[in-house]
Amino acid sequence: MTYRRCGKSGLKLPAVSLGLWHNFGFVDKYAQFRTTLHTAFDQGITHFDLANNYGPPPGSAEENFGKLLHADFKQHRDELIISTKAGYTMWEGPYGDWGSKKYLVASLDQSLKRMGLEYVDIFYHHRPDPETPLEETMRTLDLVVRQGKALYVGISNYPPELAAKAFKILRELGTPCLIHQPKYSMFERWVEDGLLDTLEANGVGCIPFSPLAQGMLTGKYLNGIPEDSRAAKSHGFLKKEALTEEKLKQIRALNDLAITRGQSLAQMALSWILKDPRITSVLVGASSSEQLLDSLKCLKNLEFEQVELDKIDQILRG
């Protein structure tokens, strides 16, 4: 494992971090994700990324992680970076969503209780709130650090201009933003339109999620849409309609290029993100230890020839 400094902070994160968005809820097999967590730690993954609503059901990923943490990793707590978030719907009524002080403080208290922790290392606001003043949300992030409930704070899914305003507020409060977590992959490149430059200018780290585009940038769909796939069942965020013939053609062309690099398509997709020095870490999900170990092979080849980058851009243009 290699470790990268997070912006201009004193913190380093592993180049690959493990996200618990899927595969760690009550509906999943405890023994299987326990093995995955052990594999991750043994491979040098020290950062585990959660949110209040991860599961399913919401909250169950944190609860399962807390159980495992105390059973197997308690003596390693100071070797770990544990993050959680609040910003999406978590409970009924007007106080269980978005970005108010009421919601964020209550949600973090609940998360700490579920995981059996006194503090998390990073607490994120999960998405911008168009109705709550940005100052209220950022003051709340500052507050939880001063309360000792989080060591660092971050934001997720913020566009460049709003992110810059958030950074300014937090800096003036004395709690600079550590990191931004955007959606970023070969198929979703909005962060290149100003966000990465904004992060660099403000000394903020970047940790993309969904780097494999909900499985599209893997070998799963090379021969069409399998009946047991997420797209076929329209589970989660990947819908069958997204896998057009044009998209499948792009996936196959990218896979052919990956083969010439000695990589799988998934490995190349992760390497492609990590090639940028402004990226601190990339979040991967894993349904098994084998899948995680396969993803980690991306670290063996992070260099791209310009002709390869040009070819990728050409394929994505269609």
Per residue in 91-101, pLDDT tens?
999 999 999 99
Q: How far is CA 207 from CA 83, 281, 318, in A?
A: 12, 5, 27
pLDDT reported for residue 161? 98
Question: Which residue's structure tokens are 């009524």?
Answer: 93
Structural tokens at position 190: 């909005």
Taking residues 214-238, what's their average pLDDT?
A: 74
Q: What is the mean pLDDT of the chain?
A: 95
Q: How confident is the model at residue 241 (pLDDT cuts 50, 70, 90)?
A: confident
Task: Please report which residue ranges of 213-300 form alpha helices under DSSP H.
Answer: 230-233, 245-260, 265-274, 289-296
Give percent above pLDDT 90 in the chain: 91
pLDDT at 227 over 90: no
189 by DSSP, 3-state: which? coil
Question: Which residue's structure tokens are 């704070």?
Answer: 153
List the domain boundaries for the chain.
3-215+267-288
Note the CATH number of domain 3-215+267-288.
3.20.20.100
- pLDDT tens for each residue of 113-163: 999 999 999 999 999 999 999 999 999 999 999 999 999 999 999 999 999
The CA distance from 269 to 281, in Å, is 13
Question: Which residue's structure tokens are 């730690």?
Answer: 41
Query: Which run of H or of E encompasses 96?
Result: none
The CA distance from 94 to 102, in Å, is 10
Closest by CA position to 148, among listed 127, 123, 178, 125: 123
- pLDDT tens for each residue of 252-268: 999 999 999 999 999 99
